[in-house]
Amino acid sequence: MTEPATGAPEFGEAFRARFAELVAWRRDVRRFRPDPVPEESLRACLALSRLSPSVGNSQPWRFVRVADPGRREAVAASFLRCNAAAAATYDDERAAAYRRLKLAGLREAPVHLAVFCDEETGAGHGLGRATMPEMLRYSTVTAIHTFWLAARAHGLGVGWVSILCPEEVTRALDVPVAWRLIAYLCVGTPAEEHADPELVRHGWQARHEEGAPIVER
């Protein structure tokens, strides 16, 4: 029988440097190679995501692997409708720039994962969310981010597709009514590697190098 580990692990300077590199290389990927994702890598990333923090230890995330071609096609159709509607909200120059962007890898990505928040979960017994019920959704986002970093560490890329109608996706995937769509993820081996965000590279929005200032009160 394995004895439980005692004491906090030590994370040295080399680890911290590698972790910073991992965070910097976590990119929103839209271009994928057709290579299948190794099942052991996908399962390892999902296992790590389950260690994410959650309000009241509620663990409300629900990962749905979308493999059925008809369901995938319904999601892609929702993207096309929503993407056209979004383009129409910009003026001519910005609309043209928008249409030039590749904003999803739905056709190329070998793995699709829809991530839902179970808003009626009994786990956690309501602790920490009576005044902020949205904490369930925030907890689900932490699992998504953990999965994203783990995927990058396994040489995989992840693209978060938000240009979708949540109700259409929920109906297409036939999940419980209490599940709220938080993310639709495309997963696979990146077709190209870049340290800078694609939206920066294609001139849509520059990165704020300093980030948000810390405000003191």
3-class secondary structure, 30: coil
3-class secondary structure, 80: helix
Domain locations in the chain as residue ranges: 29-201
Residue with tokens 């439980």: 4
Single pTM value for the model: 0.91
- pLDDT tens digit string along 10-61? 999 999 999 999 999 999 999 999 999 999 999 999 999 999 999 999 999 9
Neighbours of 147 (CB within 10 A): 27
- pLDDT tens digit string along 101-151? 999 999 999 999 999 999 999 999 999 999 999 999 999 999 999 999 999
Q: Which long-range contacts (CB under 8 A, 24 or more apart) does 199-207 make?
A: 199/101, 202/100, 202/101, 203/97, 204/97, 204/98, 204/101
- Which of 159, 155, 143 has the alpha carbon at shortest distance from 101? 159
6: pLDDT confidence band, cut at 50, 70 and 90? confident
- Which of 99, 114, 121 has the alpha carbon at shortest distance from 165? 114
**pLDDT for 211:** 64
Q: What is the mean pLDDT of the chain?
A: 93
Strand pairing of 157-161 and 111-118? Answer: unpaired
> Domain 29-201 in CATH: superfamily?
NADH Oxidase (3.40.109.10)
**pLDDT for 3:** 59
Which phi-psi region, left, alpha or beta, contains residue 47 (left: φ > 0; alpha: ψ -120 to 50)? alpha
Distance of CA 86 to the CA centre of its chain: 21
Residue with tokens 């290389």: 25
5: pLDDT confidence band, cut at 50, 70 and 90? low
Q: Evaluate whether 151 touches 23 at the Cβ level (below 8 Å).
A: no
Task: Take residue 93 and report the two structure tokens written for it.
Answer: 């120059």
Query: How many whole angstroms separate alpha carbon 156 and alpha carbon 152?
Result: 5
Residue 93 burial (10 A CB sphere; 0-12, 13-18, 19+): exposed
